[in-house]
Amino acid sequence: MMFRRFQTDFRSSLSRARATSRSGLSQARTSVAENGKRLAAFGLALLVAACSTRSELQFTTLATQVPVTRAVVIPPPGGPAVVAVLENKFLNGVSQEIALSTGAAGVGQNAFWVSMMNDPDALTEVDDVLKIRRITTERLQSEMEDRLPGVDMRTSLYFVQNKYGPFGYATGYSAAHDLCLYAWQQIEPTENAVFSTSGSVSIRLRLCEAGATEEQLLRVMYGYTISAFFGARGWNPYGSPGPVPQQLGQIDAPIYPLGMTTGSTLRTAPPPAARPKAVVRRAPPEFQPPAALLPPETVRHPAAVPTGEPLGGFPVVPPPP
């Protein structure tokens, strides 16, 4: 009896173990299927994301076109006009290529190249940092060969300066007989500034015009205006303003308008000149010299008019039969 009861209990325990193992196996199979579905959905999402990423257009340049109203440098009134502006932004500044209208017969684009730096002490080993290098003869020669290829440029020996300080320039004629100007200027704070200043501005100008003179091209360098600045404290590459003239506001120190000197009076515009009347020229009559001045053989007699009657004083010849 004891053996049979043991046998019965053993069989029931074995049946329960088998049922438990079957249910666990089915649960494991269900879990594996669900995980497979999840992995498949995740892989499909990655595939869609990869396809969408490959369809986006990527650019290798950092230059972007901005409106012409955001040009750092504005040419003087009367041109040349700004036609396009390409800008590069850096951690410590900004650089722009400002394309200008071109009236030259040869090839090439007139332009300003401007670099404005905020912090000159930024780490130079970082790629996204603007660097303004010192002006050297070799660097200028390389720039002119790149931006004015084939033009024999001669550096001027005159000392010139505009409202921002001294600048240099070179001129030359292109193969199309256009007069070309390449000018450079670097604006940095002076040592006698009142406050500690920082920053720097670098200017380059390439300008070619047909039929222009050197004075006309230089007018752009004398009249351009820097229309932008950094709001950082201490940014002032221009230095301290110059002193006020001593005679300004003083007694016995007259200041005259342009073109007027001591003792002269203001000149008004002259009245318009009267238009000359048109003179009608007539052909002179033919000159007839008097008969007394002519030699006898050239005295003119009026031609005889035939009347049909014989002239007197001559023999009468009878007509033929």
Co-location of 20 and 79 in the same domain: no
Is it true that the peptide bond before 315 is cis, omega within 30 degrees of 0? no
Amino acid code (one letter) for 259 = G
pLDDT digits (tens, 9 = 90+) for 134-179: 899 999 999 999 999 999 999 999 999 999 999 999 999 999 999 9
Structural domain includes residue 212: yes
Q: Which of 57-61, 103-107, 291-295 has the lowest mean pLDDT?
A: 291-295
Q: Which domain holds residue 33?
A: 1-58
Residues 123, 126, 127, 132: what is their CA dihedral angle, to the nearest 10 degrees? 10
Structural domain includes residue 11: yes
The pLDDT of 258-272, averaged and rounded, is 60
Structural domain includes residue 12: yes
Co-location of 82 and 222 in the same domain: yes
- Using the 3D structure, point to which of 181, 200, 226 is the last residue of a domain: 226
- Using the 3D structure, point to which of 25, 43, 58 is the last residue of a domain: 58
- Using the 3D structure, point to which of 184, 206, 226 is the last residue of a domain: 226
Between 206 and 297, residue with greater pLDDT: 206
The per-residue pLDDT for 84 is 96
Co-location of 51 and 70 in the same domain: no
The pLDDT of 286-292, averaged and rounded, is 60
Between 8 and 107, residue with greater pLDDT: 107
Co-location of 98 and 113 in the same domain: yes
Structural domain includes residue 238: no
The pLDDT of 291-308, averaged and rounded, is 56
Q: What does the buried/exposed string (b/e) look like for 202-212 if buried means 16 or more CB atoms within 10 Å of the residue's CB? A: bbbbbbbbeeb
Number of structural domains found in the chain: 2
Structural domain includes residue 109: yes
The pLDDT of 52-76, averaged and rounded, is 81
Structural domain includes residue 48: yes
The H helix count followed by the E strand count for the chain is: 3, 11
Structural domain includes residue 16: yes
The per-residue pLDDT for 242 is 78
Co-location of 111 and 163 in the same domain: yes
The pLDDT of 302-316, averaged and rounded, is 60
pTM score, two decimals? 0.61
Co-location of 38 and 139 in the same domain: no
Co-location of 217 and 82 in the same domain: yes
Co-location of 80 and 120 in the same domain: yes
Co-location of 176 and 100 in the same domain: yes
Closest CA relative to residue 72, chosen from 89, 55, 96, 93: 96
CA distance 141 to 146: 9
Structural domain includes residue 312: no
Co-location of 7 and 101 in the same domain: no
CA distance 121 to 167: 25
Co-location of 71 and 148 in the same domain: yes
Co-location of 84 and 54 in the same domain: no
